[in-house]
A and B are shown apart, each in its own frame.
Chain A
Amino acid sequence: QVQLQESGPGLVKPSETLSLTCTVSGGSINSYYWTWIRQPPGKGLEWIGYMYYSGSTSYNPSLNSRVTISVDTSMNQFSLKLNSVTAADTAVYYCARVGRKGSRPSNIDFWGQGTQVTVSS
């Protein structure tokens, strides 16, 4: 059974960079897309971006200039960096696996449990 686990600081100061890692166990990071999704407190889900294991990416246009997703196949991990954070970036951050159909991502199947990140001084 594939499992995903988010890790990283739970508290980040305004204007700094939020960095999270998602560790994948029970399966290979190869041949899949990997995505980050967040949920501000009491609000809905927001897609941050996804990356194919070999490098192609797609980001939410509203976050595009601040987001970087990367994959480390040797560690079976993928990461999220969001810079210049503000209180509006306070959320539960989820990582998830996405299958591939043809040349596109298809089928979000396994999710991490989520990690709370608070932006505050």
Chain B
Amino acid sequence: QAVVTQEPSLTVSPGGTVTLTCGSSTGAVTSGQYPYWFQQKPGQAPRTLIYDTSNKHSWTPARFSGSLLGGKAALTLSGAQPEDEAEYYCLLSYSGAWVFGGGTKLTVL
């Protein structure tokens, strides 16, 4: 089974910009793996921020954006807010089988 890798932790200053990445053990991440990004705060269910690489939900703050960058899926947060401190997970599809990354703990400090 493929392994999906994320940075274990990242720190961003309030108002700053940070990029989280999502890599695949099978090679470059492509749009055909339909990358997702989820946000999870302690004690809460995950919330979907991004699907199919860059599509947002109505509840996704405009400061979040998804893309492919350097062979990985990427989630960029521009103008970090204290409420963005959370765990972020990516998800990739491998011919219909889904695999989550291990998560990135984002600290806004």
5 additional A-B pairs beyond A58-B98, A60-B98, A108-B36, beta carbons within 8 Å, are A37-B100, A61-B1, A104-B34, A106-B52, A111-B47
Task: Decide if the interface of chain A is mainly helix, strand, loop or mixed.
Answer: strand
A47 touches B99 (CB 8 A): yes
CB contacts (< 8 Å) of A112 on chain B: these are: 45
CB contacts (< 8 Å) of B47 on chain A: these are: 111
B34 touches A106 (CB 8 A): yes
B100 touches A44 (CB 8 A): yes
B48 touches A109 (CB 8 A): yes
* Min CB–CB distance A96 → chain B (angstroms): 8
A-contacting 9-mer, from B10-18, B61-69, B71-79, B89-97: B89-97
Q: What range describes how many residues of B lie at the interface?
A: 20 to 34
Q: What range describes how many residues of A lie at the interface?
A: 20 to 34
B55 at the interface (CB under 8 A from A): yes
> In whole angstroms, what is the CA distance A101 to B93 when docked?
14
> In whole angstroms, what is the CA distance A112 to B45 when docked?
7
CB contacts (< 8 Å) of A2 on chain B: these are: none
CB contacts (< 8 Å) of B91 on chain A: these are: 45, 47
> In whole angstroms, what is the CA distance A104 to B100 when docked?
18
> In whole angstroms, what is the CA distance A113 to B45 when docked?
5
